Structure 1
Amino acid sequence: MSAPRTASGIRILVVIAALIIIIAGLKAAAAIVVPFLLAVFVVILVAPWYFWMQRKGVPSALSLLVIVAALLALGIFGASFFTATVNSFVRNLPQYQTILTQQVSEATGWLEARGVEVPEDAFNQALDTQKLFAYARTIAGSVTILLSNGFVITLVAIFILLEAARLPGKIRNLPGMTDRRWDDFLGIVGNVRQYMAMKTVMSLLTAVLVGSMLWLLDVDYPILLAVLAFLLNFVPSIGSIIAAIPGILLALILQGLGDATICAIGYIIINVGVSNFLEPKYMGKGLGISPMIIIVSLFLWGWILGPVGMLLSVPLTMTIKVALESNPRTRSIAFLLSDGVPMQDEQQEKAGR
């Protein structure tokens, strides 16, 4: 084997080993990394408002005070109101489980009375209420942990904002920061900001529509379920499906099969309308990432960082893809992550021709 091939093989092994160490470190430090990442994305969302107020002549101190006050109010409200609501929901889970088990037994009796032979425990095996409500309790616990960290996330975001005015200059003056790398950095921030801003708007619209539908159907906890729809709308492909299950089940338990059917149809109309019509129109035809990579990244980041990793899987993958595009040595890897659309350099070359 020639020396260049040996060196190339060693380099690949070193890169793989480094990736394994980084992934293991992120997984071990998830409790610290997750609030920091959430704070960074919060800052990416609110920073334009901060700089906009400065351009309008508002003093920097006052601009920061307005943003900090808004973040603190939102953090305190979320950590108190929604934590109490989630705890109330968890307390009512045994009652909901009892009602659903009774409904399953009544459905089995109704079918048997009409000559339909139902195998013993067929419904219980198909719809294991204990596992179902244990899963609901787990989700509620995850939401509680996320909301309880809201105040910490807000504080971290505030301290990042305190450096917001000086941070770009510091990064620009780092050793080895060329014009090309600076443009790549701005591209990463811009892409993530655009995606997060538009996805937040679409998720907020989904939450408002879901909450209004559940309120009209007189389903318990419409605000909590709307917040769940808002959060899970950031999870690609499966998020909207997971968010619909608790609402449909509560409608079935509290209102019966008719309203549960209406609720299911409403979820389908809302999610299909927002995801398939509004999002492509205002966010572009695609994210520049292969659909297969989106699914893989969803489970990978979920395994590394937990439920929050699934929420942030797309922006994190977008960041990695743009960073790989900026280096000629890793550009081929970025192309493998893409959806086949020509990358930045190729697009610029075509535009210049």
Structure 2
Amino acid sequence: MAKPIITLNGLKIVIMLGMLVIILTGIRFAADIVVPFILALFIAVILNPAVQFMVRWRIPRVVAVTLLIAFIILLAVLLLASLGTSLNELGRTAPQYRSSLVVPLQNVEPMLQRLGIQVSVEQLSKFIDPNAAMLLVTRFLTQLSNAMSSIFLLLLTVVFMLLEVPQLPTKLQQLMSRPVEGMAAIQRAIDSVTHYLVLKTAISLVTGLVAWWMLALLDVRFAFIWGMVAFALNYIPNIGSILAAIPPILQVLVFGGISDALLVMAGYLAINMLFGNILEPRIMGRGLGLSTLVVFLSLIFWGWLLGPVGMLLSVPLTIIVKIALEHSAGGKGIAILLSDLSKP
């Protein structure tokens, strides 16, 4: 009886899959080290166009980087101070939520009983613990203060990356066997990621400001917090804007009623339609080259691998992987699967 013979190509595939599993496992266990480095790298990519602009105006690169980082630190301090004040106010007003939530539950209880659903408002009210919300806010503020040292190291890494940019092409060319093709692929990846991150940051900033203005106009409490949430979650494709709208809608539903909640919901729908479905696709154009399914799956994969930062950076990370596959001998087929062939 003839023994099965493993082909050379099959053995290569098995070895590559095994290496991939080992690499992904290592990245997952080393996420505490890998995530800050990746985040610093993408922050440097976002800031490098501003540095290049100042350099073109005959400002020394060291001075340009110093001015930019100083401006970012000043802006971060002001934002964190405003955010801390709002979170403290949220913690102080948390006990009001218990009494406010009991009234809607009492109104809903008869309707649920008519449908055959037995619900006790007294039992449900026991699970509404305002002290838990206050404890959550306190823990968040403590973690925020403890994270200042990590933020300092992150910004220091960004500074060194920005100062290293002029020497980086020469170093990379010396490492490559085919420097012309390799540098072309790297430049394409950098251009695509820079194009995406800069435009996405600008659109997210405008989205957060408009959401803040809209909520302040409707006299919604903690509008600044919800504007910051809208700015941060807008980086998450597909579902980020939906997640950002849930907390303020629930808050208005509890304190203001259904009509006010529907008004806030309509405002968020208008913002998402304008910026997410009309403005962003027009500005981004065909820069991504990724199918919608791949964007959603990349959100799940990078979120599992790198946590929340992976979700925020899922699209640029997938763009880099796609371009790397396009320039490898065995990865062109996978790159085609990742591409959006519906666009010309």
With 29-38 and 115-124 compared, the bigger mean Cα shift is at: 115-124
CA contact (8 A) 1:104 1:123 kept: yes
Q: What's the CA shift for 1:142?
A: 7.7
The aligned amino acid for 1:43 is A
TM score, norm. by length of structure 2? 0.86
Q: Given the superposition, is the C-alpha separation of residues 143 and 244 from structure 1 closer, same or farther in structure 2, using an over 3 Å criterion?
A: farther
Q: What's the CA shift for 1:189?
A: 0.5
Instruction: Give me the whole-angstrom Cα distance separating, in 1, the residues matched to 2:224 and 2:180.
Output: 47
Partner of 1:174: 175
User: Could you give the per-residue CA deviations for residues 191-223 of structure 1, whole angstroms, max 9, x where no partner exists?
Assistant: 000001111111111111110111112212111
Question: Where in structure 2 are the equivalents of 1:65-214 lying within 5 Å?
Answer: 65-83=66-84, 85-86=86-87, 88-90=89-91, 92-108=93-109, 111=111, 119-121=117-119, 148=147, 149-214=150-215
Q: Which structure 2 residue ranges, 5 or more long, are not aligned?
A: none
Instruction: Give me the whole-angstrom Cα distance separating, in 1, the residues matched to 2:61 and 2:332.
Output: 40
Instruction: Give me the whole-angstrom Cα distance separating, in 2, the residues matched to 1:265 and 1:104.
Output: 24
Instruction: Give me the whole-angstrom Cα distance separating, in 1, the residues matched to 2:213 and 2:176.
Output: 53
Instruction: Give me the whole-angstrom Cα distance separating, in 2, the residues matched to 1:121 and 1:194.
Output: 53
Instruction: Give me the whole-angstrom Cα distance separating, in 2, the residues matched to 1:143 and 1:339.
Output: 42
Instruction: Give me the whole-angstrom Cα distance separating, in 2, the residues matched to 1:105 and 1:74.
Output: 45
Instruction: Give me the whole-angstrom Cα distance separating, in 2, the residues matched to 1:202 and 1:144.
Output: 30
User: Could you give the per-residue CA deviations for residues 21-78 of structure 1, whole angstroms, max 9, x where no partner exists?
Assistant: 1221221122222222111111101111112211211122321221221232234444
CA contact (8 A) 1:75 1:150 kept: no
The aligned amino acid for 1:238 is I
Q: Secondary structure at the match of 1:74?
A: helix
1:31 aligns with 2:32: yes
CA contact (8 A) 2:88 2:137 kept: no
CA contact (8 A) 2:299 2:311 kept: yes
Partner of 2:23: 22
Partner of 2:317: 316
Instruction: Give me the whole-angstrom Cα distance separating, in 2, the residues matched to 1:178 and 1:58.
Output: 31
Question: Where in structure 2 are the equivalents of 1:214-293 lying within 5 Å?
Answer: 214-285=215-286, 287-293=288-294
The aligned amino acid for 2:319 is M
Q: What's the CA shift for 1:162?
A: 2.5
CA contact (8 A) 2:54 2:64 kept: yes
Instruction: Give me the whole-angstrom Cα distance separating, in 2, the residues matched to 1:204 and 1:280.
Output: 16
Q: Secondary structure at the match of 2:166?
A: coil
Q: Given the superposition, is the C-alpha separation of residues 140 and 26 from structure 1 closer, same or farther in structure 2, using an over 3 Å criterion?
A: farther
With 135-144 and 308-317 compared, the bigger mean Cα shift is at: 135-144
CA contact (8 A) 2:290 2:340 kept: yes
Q: Given the superposition, is the C-alpha separation of residues 47 and 178 from structure 1 closer, same or farther in structure 2, using an over 3 Å criterion?
A: same
Q: What's the CA shift for 1:292?
A: 1.4
With 91-100 and 49-58 compared, the bigger mean Cα shift is at: 91-100
User: Could you give the per-residue CA deviations for residues 217-263 of structure 1, whole angstroms, max 9, x where no partner exists?
Assistant: 22121111111111111111111111000010111223222211100
User: Could you give the per-residue CA deviations for residues 74-128 of structure 1, whole angstroms, max 9, x where no partner exists?
Assistant: 344445543554455356445324422332223435x58xx955622299999x9
CA contact (8 A) 2:196 2:287 kept: no
Instruction: Give me the whole-angstrom Cα distance separating, in 1, the residues matched to 2:157 and 2:85.
Output: 24
Q: Given the superposition, is the C-alpha separation of residues 45 and 295 from structure 1 closer, same or farther in structure 2, using an over 3 Å criterion?
A: same
With 287-296 and 94-103 compared, the bigger mean Cα shift is at: 94-103
Q: Given the superposition, is the C-alpha separation of residues 146 and 198 from structure 1 closer, same or farther in structure 2, using an over 3 Å criterion?
A: farther
The aligned amino acid for 1:327 is S
Q: Given the superposition, is the C-alpha separation of residues 160 and 251 from structure 1 closer, same or farther in structure 2, using an over 3 Å criterion?
A: same
Q: Given the superposition, is the C-alpha separation of residues 263 and 335 from structure 1 closer, same or farther in structure 2, using an over 3 Å criterion?
A: same
User: Could you give the per-residue CA deviations for residues 284-343 of structure 1, whole angstroms, max 9, x where no partner exists?
Assistant: 15721121111111111111111221111111111100111112321111001111269x
CA contact (8 A) 1:76 1:150 kept: no
Please give the root-mean-square deviation of Cα atoms over the aligned residues, in Å. 3.4
Identity over aligned pairs, percent:
35
Partner of 2:50: 49
